[in-house]
Amino acid sequence: MASPALTNMKVAITGASGFIGKVLVPLLSAQGHALQLLSRATAAATASDNIRFIHGDLLQEASLKRLVAGADVVIHLAAMITMGDEMDKDAFELNTGGTRLLLAAARQAGVRRFIYLSSVTAFEQAPYDEPMDERRGPATALPYSYTASKVMAQAAALDSNNSGFEVIVLAPTAVIGPMDERPSMMGKAIISMYKGNLPALFPGGVDFVDVRDVAAAIVSALTGGESGKVYLLSGEWLTLKALNRQIAAIKGKRSMIPVLPLGLVLGLLPFINWWARITGSAPYYTRQAVDQLIYSNKRIDHSKAAAALHFRPRPIAETVSDEIAWFRQNGFFEH
> Residue 236 has what DSSP assignment?
E
Domain extent at residue 145: 10-183+206-237+298-316
| CATH code: domain of residue 144 | 3.40.50.720
CA distances from 137 to 124, 134, 151, 175, 210 (A): 6, 8, 10, 22, 25
Q: Where do the DSSP E strands lie in 256-321?
A: none
Map residue 301 onto helix, strand or coil.
Answer: coil
CA 208 from chain centre, in angstroms, equals 11
CA distances from 166 to 111, 183, 277 (A): 9, 32, 46
**pLDDT value at residue 87:** 77
Q: Alpha-carbon dihedral of residues 147, 150, 151, 157, nearest 10 degrees?
A: 180
> Residue 35 has what DSSP assignment?
E
The rounded distance, in Å, linking the Cα atoms of 201 and 318 is 22
Task: Choose the weakest-confidence range: 118-127, 243-252, 267-276.
Answer: 267-276
Q: Which residues in 137-164 are b (16+ Cβ under 10 Å) and which e?
A: eebebeebbbbbbbbbbbbbbbebbeee
**Is residue 256 in a domain?**
no
Mean pLDDT value of segment 121-134: 96
* Statement: residue 132 has pLDDT above 60: yes
**Is residue 228 in a domain?**
yes
* Statement: residue 199 has pLDDT above 50: yes
The rounded distance, in Å, linking the Cα atoms of 116 and 227 is 11
The rounded distance, in Å, linking the Cα atoms of 130 and 298 is 8
Residue 35: Cβ within 10 Å count: 22
**pLDDT value at residue 259:** 93
**Is residue 328 in a domain?**
no
Tens digit of pLDDT for each residue in 150-194? Answer: 999 999 999 999 999 999 999 999 999 999 999 998 999 999 999
Confidence category of residue 217, pLDDT binned at 50, 70, 90? very high
**Is residue 215 in a domain?**
yes
Tens digit of pLDDT for each residue in 48-73? Answer: 778 999 999 999 999 999 999 999 99
Query: What is the domain count for the chain?
Result: 1
**pLDDT value at residue 272:** 81
Residue 31: Cβ within 10 Å count: 14
**Is residue 277 in a domain?**
no
**Is residue 4 in a domain?**
no
**pLDDT value at residue 41:** 75
**Is residue 198 in a domain?**
no
Mean pLDDT value of segment 273-298: 83
Map residue 89 onto helix, strand or coil.
Answer: helix
Contact between 124 and 140 under an 8 Å Cβ cutoff? The reply is: yes
Q: What is the DSSP string of 171-211?
A: EE-EEE-S---S--HHHHHHHHHHHT--S-B-S-EEEEEEH
Exposed/middle/buried for residue 263 (C-beta within 10 Å: 0-12, 13-18, 19+): exposed
Contact between 254 and 248 under an 8 Å Cβ cutoff? The reply is: yes
**Is residue 216 in a domain?**
yes
* Statement: residue 43 has pLDDT above 80: no
Q: Of 134, 195, 131, 200, nearest to 169 (Cα)? A: 134
Confidence category of residue 292, pLDDT binned at 50, 70, 90? confident
